[in-house]
Amino acid sequence: MDSAEAVCLLVRPGGTARVTFTHSCWVSGSGPGCPIPILRSVDYVLVSVPFFLAFAILFRLERRRLINGVPFVIGLLLLGMGVTSLLQEIPGMHEVINGTTAGTAVLLAVFLLLPLFLVCNGFLMLRREGRRLGNLLSLLAGLALFAFAPLLISLGKGANPVWLETTITAVGVPLGYLSGLFAVYVLYSLVYGLVPHRTGVDFIVVHGSRLIRAKVPPLLASRLDRARRVYDSENARGGRPILITSGGQGPDEELAEARAMADYLIEAGVPQDRVLLEDRSTTTEQNLRYSKEIMLGLKPDYRSVLVTNNYHAFRTALISRRARINGQVLGSRTAWYYLPSATIREFVGILRDYAILNGVIAVALVVAYLIWLR
């Protein structure tokens, strides 16, 4: 195969078809060796514009929705394909940047580098955070990717039993959906976290987390420090926001999380009369519901900002939208090694929150795929 050619494997029961795209096909969109029409490089860029516009409109209407990330990610993919095609038009570059090179790089990243990182991160999590299921997620994800790679290699070679190819591809459809949804979640979470919140808030709600020996641990301290910075910023603008520390007392805790959080803020210089406690909640949903009751009781037309860790911010935003809370969510920094497992855990939480919807979509995709195979 020429270095300027890319091969796509089309998997169907009974065999694997190889579809070849030549360099002239990628660049011009037509010509010898082009089995299907391909957009020109400039067309990719132009087609991406409506998706970015749709994203901007959806974001402006309500930023606390995961669906906003779909046109954004599609636009990024189209833009990336356009830039890649433009680079291929540079003399000599098509031998460096082509479908084969890109495909090999993606496969290496997904089935070697990414799982290797996840496995190493999993062992680091176990060493630093202890042996709990939530800390095993990155390790399990890495091992799953390592295990899935040989199946894909076997499938790509062809000459497999029909039942094996059908089973793998049928399972691959929902896995592909989940992978795409995870990419949308991660990328849009980053976008959501980068957009600044509106100033002029009346309440700053800080979500609690587990205490260690009745003291605020670093994870929770980062939330409180972020909330205090927001409080100081609002004060500098002439505002008088109220800080609400939200968190009840767990069975293994000596006092309520809200009490320890309030003490931390007061010791940091926040006036005691500007701190209120919500000490009944034990879940994120309760954090929001009970805090909303306090805010509505003091000011029905309130504006708020909610503070949690960055990995938890977007899911909290989704829940706050369902709870009809007037406010956005800010994320505080988290230790880097904690992010992979925490991000996977939050994604699993979103799948659970919308289990029926995701189940219907996955089944519909499998049915559509099986119909297409006929």
Cα distance from N-terminal residue to C-terminal residue, the chain: 31
Residue 9: predicted pLDDT: 44
Residue 100: predicted pLDDT: 56
d(CA 55, CA 53): 5
Cβ-proximal residues to 329 (8 Å cutoff; 6+ apart), any chain: 64, 192, 305, 306, 307, 308, 313, 314, 316, 317, 320
Where does residue 185 rank: exposed (0-12), middle (13-18), buried (19+ CB within 10 A)?
buried
Token readout for 240 is 């008088």
d(CA 294, CA 325): 12
Residue closest to 79 by CA, chosen among 187, 4, 181, 226 = 187
For residues 229 and 165, membership in a common domain is answered with no
Handedness of CA 73, 76, 80, 82 (dihedral sign): positive
Residue 258: predicted pLDDT: 95
139-173 per-position pLDDT tens digit: 778 778 777 767 666 665 556 677 766 777 677 78
Residue 212: predicted pLDDT: 87
pTM, to two decimals: 0.80
69-116 per-position pLDDT tens digit: 999 999 998 888 888 777 776 666 665 565 556 656 666 666 667 777
Domain encompassing residue 288: 203-334
DSSP strands (E only) in 117-272: 203-207, 242-246
Residue 173: predicted pLDDT: 82
With respect to residue 239, please indicate whether it lies within any of the assigned structural domains.
Answer: yes
CATH number at residue 319: 3.40.50.620
For residues 115 and 159, membership in a common domain is answered with yes
C-beta of residue 31 within 8 angstroms of C-beta of residue 25: yes
> What b/e string do you get for 325-357 counting C-beta neighbours within 10 Å, with b at 16 or more?
bebbbbbbebeebbbbbbbbbbbeebbeeeeee
Token readout for 72 is 């954004």
Q: Which of the residues in the chain have pLDDT under 70? A: 1-41, 89-112, 134, 149, 151-160, 164-165, 169, 373-374
For residues 248 and 220, membership in a common domain is answered with yes
For residues 69 and 183, membership in a common domain is answered with yes
For residues 266 and 322, membership in a common domain is answered with yes
| Count of the separate structural domains present in the chain | 2
d(CA 177, CA 363): 10
19-37 per-position pLDDT tens digit: 454 444 544 444 454 544 4
Residue 330: predicted pLDDT: 96
For residues 237 and 302, membership in a common domain is answered with yes
- Asked which of 194, 211, 227 is the last residue of a domain, the reply is 194
d(CA 231, CA 262): 14
